[in-house]
């Protein structure tokens, strides 16, 4: 998506509070193959984890920002654990995705991007019930 | 090993299919340890194979998420058999997502620099010192000064896709 629309849309990845830190209510990591991460306590620790994330997932084509340890921006967007938005040139919300992971829908974001750029919508197969 | 959570897999849809040819591949992460190996390496001060509440120096109110039976210590069996605890969030702060058509909350955040993509000699470079002023040069100052981006920077210029997420 970044390769297709990156010239006309600014893609900003915002690193926010961990979703499945080992000391969180929903721990993951280790045997299940997910990375082992403790919930950062300081901004420096959060930057260290963000750096690991950036390298492991090779986020280099996109600009990655880091939320403060007070989670101010993540909370302002109700973004935890993950979420997608499109903000138009006027600074208004053009698309607000649902809370991840179940409502994290990149296709919806792409549809919103195409609408914002006055491009033909993509014909998609209807989603199966229950998804 | 590249670990991908469901959110990470979804994020991949936003990225180009192949890396830019000139980019060096990211360094491989060390072999994956278990959660217990991670914890014991960090907190088991007396190396007796278990971690007591006194030894644990992490977030204090998170201890109860590790010591599920509340006996004051944890061992490998207890940690590795936890599964998902699914207790309420420690902070019950109510948050509301901004709706379509409303002004997007403003922010200005630090830009992360991908250290893996810096030139190889960058970390070893001595800071450039202006011989007259005895201060760091502008170039060095730019390297050390955290770069920030504000959402407002793009107003009137281009739309912004915001992808919120974390490593796990």
Q: What is the pLDDT of residues A34-83, one digit of tens each?
A: 777 888 878 988 898 888 888 888 777 789 999 999 999 999 999 988 99
Is there a single domain that holds both residue B88 and residue B100? no
Look-up of token digits 């509301």: B96
Q: In chain B, positions 53-92, which contact chain A (CB-CB < 8 Å)?
A: 58-59, 62, 65-66, 80, 82, 84-90
Q: Give every CB contact of residue B9 below 8 A, 6+ residues apart in sequence.
A: none
Is there a single domain that holds both residue B107 and residue B152? yes
Strand-pair category, A10-15 with A63-66:
parallel
- Give the range of the structural domain holding residue B154, as residue numbers without chain letter: 96-168
Q: Which segments of A6-116 does DSSP mark as H helices, in order? A: 43-56, 72-76, 106-116
Give this prediction's pTM.
0.69
B78 neighbors B64 (Cβ within 8 angstroms): no
CB-CB neighbours of A42 under 10 Å? 9
Is there a single domain that holds both residue B108 and residue B150? yes
**Residue B138 counted as domain residue:** yes
- Domain locations along chain A: 1-72, 82-131
Query: Residue B142 has what pLDDT?
Result: 45
The CATH number of A1-72 is which of 3.40.30.10, 3.40.50.1000, 3.30.1490.190, 3.30.1370.60? 3.40.30.10
Q: Which one of A31, A52, A64, A91 would you mutate to disrupt binding with B, by most B Cβ within 10 Å of its Cβ?
A: A91
Q: How close B137 comes to chain A (CA, Å)?
A: 25
B4-52 tens-digit pLDDT: 565 555 565 665 544 445 556 655 555 567 788 888 888 999 989 899 9
Q: Is A54 within 8 Å of B82 when comparing Cβ atoms?
A: no
Nearest one of A81, A70, A72, A64 to A21, comparing CA atoms: A81
Q: Is A104 within 8 Å of B16 when comparing Cβ atoms?
A: no
Nearest one of B26, B4, B7 to B163, comparing CA atoms: B7
B49 neighbors B59 (Cβ within 8 angstroms): no
Q: What is the enclosing helix (H) or strand (E) of B140?
A: helix B138-144
Q: Of the residues B49, B71, B93, which one is the last residue of a structural domain?
A: B93
- Mean pLDDT (whole number) for A2-6: 93
- Mean pLDDT (whole number) for B85-93: 55
As a whole number of angstroms, the distance between CA B72 and CA A109 comes to 47
């Amino acid at each position: 998506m970044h390769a297709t629309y990156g010239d006309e849309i600014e893609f900003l990845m915002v690193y926010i509070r961990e979703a499945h830190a080992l000391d969180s209510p929903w721990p993951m990591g280790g045997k299940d193959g997910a990375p082992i991460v403790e919930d950062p306590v300081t901004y420096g620790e959060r930057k260290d984890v963000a750096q690991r994330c950036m390298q492991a997932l090779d986020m280099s084509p996109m600009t990655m920002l880091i939320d403060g340890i007070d989670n101010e921006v993540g909370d302002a967007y109700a973004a935890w654990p993950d979420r997608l938005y499109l903000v138009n040139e006027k600074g208004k919300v053009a698309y607000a995705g649902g809370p991840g992971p179940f409502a994290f829908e990149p296709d919806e974001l792409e549809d919103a991007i195409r609408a914002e750029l006055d491009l033909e919508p993509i014909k998609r197969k209807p989603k199966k019930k229950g998804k | 090993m590249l670990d991908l959570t469901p959110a990470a897999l979804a994020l991949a849809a936003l990225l180009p299919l192949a890396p830019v040819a000139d980019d060096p591949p990211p360094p491989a992460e060390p072999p994956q340890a278990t959660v217990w190996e991670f914890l014991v390496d960090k907190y088991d001060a007396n190396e007796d194979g278990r971690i007591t509440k006194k030894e644990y120096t992490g977030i204090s109110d998170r201890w109860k998420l590790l010591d599920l039976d509340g006996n004051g210590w944890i061992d490998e069996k207890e940690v590795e058999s936890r599964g998902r605890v699914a207790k309420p969030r420690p902070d019950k702060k109510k948050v509301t997502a901004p709706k379509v058509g409303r002004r997007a909350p403003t922010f200005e955040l630090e830009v992360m620099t991908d250290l893996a993509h810096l030139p190889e000699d960058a970390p070893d470079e001595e800071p450039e010192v202006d011989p007259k002023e005895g201060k760091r040069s502008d170039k060095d100052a730019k390297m050390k000064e955290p770069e920030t981006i504000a959402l407002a920077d793009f107003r009137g210029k281009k739309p912004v896709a915001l992808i919120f997420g974390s490593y796990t």
